[in-house]
Chains A and B, each alone.
Chain A
């Protein structure tokens, strides 16, 4: 097991190697900014309602380095509201009184006995924690070794994140003579239980409040025993991100936990997370050549007893190192560096900054993207009309920004209009290629505008040519006088340009000119779609179908005639009951068929058919049997 000092040296060497490898170290993305602190204070400074809220307010504000508004009133409040029969209430009172200045209280013997009795294996971890805290807060003697054994015994039975955190805090009240190493090892176990969210946040699944209480308790115990807590640098940063991502504090206990975490992360013996804050956007220019930074801790308290150094500054576009190993100078609250002194080209630069001064610093190597802005100038602006047949030499007119060219230029079927210019950095004279170089032609009469992009050639000279026959679709073949504008813009330019350069009279061939120029309005109602319903099938006229119905029924007539002719009769009809039932049943079945056609479905029909069919079958059976016998 390495001692704290050599371990730190090893970590420093490792961080240096990481920097050489160009690895990005984790930096805090959240902190308690001034606004957040104000909100936290507002919650903690609410009027006191009971001893517990008094404890949260008083101790919470103390962690932030603030004091309660009226300490005497708070002291009186606690003394009147404390419940001497409750260990928890005594704990809150004791801890609050310890923080308030000039607040004295006498403890009766009964109270002392109560507290001492609570420190045993029969009480829960929370009760032991409150009892030990109360005894310590009142300044009463306490048997540390017995308390420790009770605590460890109880902890093995009640294993949870919250009880372990309470055990850590309890141990911080016990004497250093006792062997607190078993409790200190719990820190490592708890760290293993933290959930890593995206590599940025580290928190318990129980929530931010528990995570904040853990941080406070871990550092309190570590400070007490003098051992560095088993939390890695990156993990500390992730804890910072998680705890200070909460900006709204609904309950007092939440606010209290965040305040204590903030306090412990700003003042402990081992780890101090740093935050490097640029003044406004990290941008420099000729008007503002200084890059100004502030170095704060998690509570936005300024740290000025540090040294800030630029390790290297590299251009993003060509990866060339522009500056190396330059210290920042402290001016008031800010650390400043004059970047423009090396005359950097405009663009973005990656700054690697390191902050030193204390071995406890964490996240003291920061990467910052700095923008260097400049001003653009347009030079060598040449407007010319080029004859298509190339029989006449092109006429060139030079214009200087911001003047407008006198007279108008003509572009028609014989002549093309051409524009060329160069863009330079006003301060350095270097050629610039901004992101936006547009040529805008605006029809004065119809309000149409067409925008083209001017492209640079190999020598970084921008050229634009207007050929009426090629470009007539963009213009909708609308001839007329157009105003030409040049638009230059970029993120690194301080002076974007909109320049009315000249007027151009464009004439398109007559046969393509539309009668009226319609503005392409995309938002007019479109033609209505008529839904075509399915055409019903073609039916024959009613006369035809009625005729055929009569025709189809005519064979029935023929049948009756034939039967009469043959001599079929019903003379053999016997009026036996089975015969009657059979014929009735059969007739009913035929009737059922008709009803099925008009009303019923298959299932209902089958049901009735089963009944009728059964009756008819039995009757018919009897009838036919009788007939057979008669024969």
Chain B
């Protein structure tokens, strides 16, 4: 059982390393960073306590929001394999949308962090 999991993981990593463009890999690294930051924040809250609650919420929402925008909006739209789905949207346009959405998200986050 453990063996098959390891085999799947190794296969996944080799396929990933080979089949993914450099740009996407850089983006994935960013997403991993955001994920870890959010998880650590959540862990702190579970361990130590929710004071101050508004700061925790804003930090956590910033992490979650950035992850979603990066993964869902930017990554999907940039992936050349998905070009068929997004006919009218160029990667540059996707990036611009990503920046715009992030600005609004972080405006709210900064307002709430206190």
Contact = CB atoms under 8 A, between A and B. Distances in A.
Contact of B92 (A551, A555, A628): A628
Interface stretch (A22-30, A241-249, A303-311, A617-625): A617-625
Given A548-B40, A552-B41, A624 B106 contact: no
Given A552-B41, A552-B44, A586-B99, A559 B29 contact: yes
Interface string A572-596: 0000000000000010010001001
The binding surface of chain B is classed by DSSP as: helix
A596 B110 contact: yes
Interface in A594-631: 596-597, 602, 605, 609, 613, 617, 620-621, 624-625, 627-628
Q: Is the interface of A mostly helix, strand, loop or mixed?
A: helix
A290 B49 CA distance: 96
A537 interface: yes
Interface string B20-46: 001001100110111011001100100
A625 B107 CA distance: 27
B59 to A, nearest CB: 8
Nearest to A537: B51
A186 B48 CA distance: 97
A537 B93 CA distance: 47
A597 B54 CA distance: 14
B79 interface: no
Contacts of A586: 99
A586 B44 CA distance: 31
Interface in A148-181: none
Nearest to A590: B106
Contact of B26 (A552, A563, A617): A563
B44 A538 contact: no
Nearest to B108: A602
Given A566-B29, A567-B22, A620 B48 contact: no
Q: Which of A566, A589, A593 counts the most chain B CB atoms within 10 A? A: A566
A609 B49 contact: no
Contacts, number: 74
B49 A538 contact: yes
B82 interface: no
A544 interface: yes
Nearest to B50: A537
Interface in B77-111: 90, 92-93, 95-96, 99, 103, 106-107, 110-111
Contact of B48 (A545, A593, A621, A627): A545
Contacts of B30: 559
Interface string A556-574: 1011001100111000000
A584 B38 CA distance: 28
B44 to A, nearest CB: 5
B113 interface: yes
Contacts of B107: 593, 596, 605, 609
Contacts of B113: 597
Nearest to A628: B92
Interface string B50-78: 01100000000000000000000000000
A563 B29 contact: yes
Contacts of B32: 555, 558-559, 562
Given A562-B32, A568-B26, A589 B96 contact: no
Contacts of A556: 33, 37
A626 to B, nearest CB: 9
Contacts of A555: 32-34, 36-37, 40
A627 B113 CA distance: 36
A566 B26 contact: yes
Contacts of A609: 103, 107
Contacts of B36: 555, 558
Contacts of A617: 96
A447 interface: no
B51 A539 contact: yes
A65 interface: no
A597 B110 contact: yes
B63 to A, nearest CB: 10
Contact of B110 (A537, A559, A593): A593
A506 B95 CA distance: 102
A563 B28 CA distance: 10
A624 B110 contact: no
Interface in A523-565: 537-540, 544-545, 548, 551-552, 555-556, 558-559, 562-563
B21 to A, nearest CB: 10
A540 B40 contact: no
Given A556-B33, A609-B103, A621-B96, A628 B26 contact: no
A68 to B, nearest CB: 91
Given A597-B113, A625-B92, A538 B48 contact: no
Contacts of A559: 29-30, 32-33
Contacts of A625: 92
Given A545-B48, A552-B40, A593 B106 contact: yes
Contacts of B41: 552
A427 B66 CA distance: 109
Give the 6 A-B residue pairs with the shortest CB-CB distance, closest first: A624-B92, A559-B33, A562-B29, A555-B36, A568-B26, A540-B48
Interface of B: 22, 25-26, 29-30, 32-34, 36-37, 40-41, 44, 48-49, 51-52, 90, 92-93, 95-96, 99, 103, 106-107, 110-111, 113
Interface of A: 537-540, 544-545, 548, 551-552, 555-556, 558-559, 562-563, 566-568, 586, 589, 593, 596-597, 602, 605, 609, 613, 617, 620-621, 624-625, 627-628
9 contacts: A539-B51, A540-B49, A545-B48, A551-B40, A552-B41, A552-B44, A556-B37, A566-B29, A613-B103
Given A544-B48, A555-B40, A568-B29, 7 more contacts: A538-B51, A548-B48, A552-B40, A555-B33, A558-B32, A562-B32, A589-B103
